[in-house]
Structure 1
Amino acid sequence: MWMHDAHAESDLSPAALWARYVDVPRWVEWDPSLRRAALHGAFVVGAVGRLEAQQGPPTTFTLTHVEAPTRFDSRAVLPHVRVPLVRLDFEHRLTPTATGKTHIVHRVCISGPLAWLVARLLGPVLAADADRAVRALAVTTAAEPSRV
């Protein structure tokens, strides 16, 4: 298994940051790797969405865990890999700190029999994208509250 954690702190509460998470079409505002994002239905376990990256083919994802306002997880389906040889999971955590800030963690996990290969090919890109997204989420939400 390959894993990368991206961290940032925000002045906003978990609830304010959660409003950004559930507004899936606006993920493009804080995730520079995305061109378009959509979720079909409510932000609940089992909901399916679609991401269009700036680079690469569109990807389908499914929400696998939702615990408002502090956690959600999703699993992406890699294009052209329809067998369970690789799993690409994303974890999102919001934890209030003793100083009144919110600690944000975005974790990317690649697992399965071919994880080593996908990690070698995509790991550095996924890690850089996660680092940029978590920093942008912390900064842009502080400057511009969500319209949700």
Structure 2
Amino acid sequence: MANYSYEHSVEGPATVAAVWALWSDVSRWTEWDEGLESVTLSGPFAEGASGTMVVKGQGPIAFTLTSVTDSGFVDETSVPGALLRFSHHVEPVDGGVRVTHSVVIEGPAAQEFGPVVTADLPDAVAALVKLAC
């Protein structure tokens, strides 16, 4: 089984609390990720919660929060041929925060999906940090 992985970090003068406010309110994900039309979550932003995101030009995609900690969260999405695991991490640094988003894709379609899924990741992370400032 071929895997694909990608990671990108951005530092900025935001606070951990400001980043968390944007992460935990999934309806605001469209403000920093231009590839999304909408995001909903059934229940609180906690491990085990599930939701739906609509990626521009595609139909709804289900996701589940598989981990939520003080420093970040992980969400997983299963599509035919691949399991996509998105990790989001924030840590304080001198002058602000470092936000890291990473993606691991497992399955026979991993190499096909990887470049498409991660193409706008640097822009999304930069927009998140900018919005959190």
If each structure's strand is expressed as a fraction of its own residues, which one has the higher value?
Answer: 2
Looking at structure 2, the residues matched to 40 and 10 of structure 1 have their Cα atoms a distance apart, in angstroms, of 31
Contact 2:41–2:49 under 8 Å retained in 1: yes
Contact 1:89–1:109 under 8 Å retained in 2: yes
SS of equivalent to 1:44: coil
Report how many aligned residue pairs link the two structures: 131
Contact 2:15–2:132 under 8 Å retained in 1: no
Give the structure-1-normalised TM-score: 0.83
Looking at structure 1, the residues matched to 73 and 12 of structure 2 have their Cα atoms a distance apart, in angstroms, of 18
- TM-aligned CA deviation for residue 12 of structure 1: 1.1
Determine which of 51, 54, 64 is the counterpart of 1:52.
54
For structure 2, the residue ranges without an aligned partner over 5 or more in a row are none
SS of equivalent to 2:124: helix
Name the Cα RMSD after superposition: 1.2
Contact 1:45–1:63 under 8 Å retained in 2: yes
Contact 2:7–2:102 under 8 Å retained in 1: yes
Aligned residue in 1 for 2:91: 95
Give the structure-2-normalised TM-score: 0.92
For structure 1, the residue ranges without an aligned partner over 5 or more in a row are 143-148
Determine which of 108, 121, 130 is the counterpart of 1:139.
130
Determine which of 99, 107, 129 is the counterpart of 2:120.
129
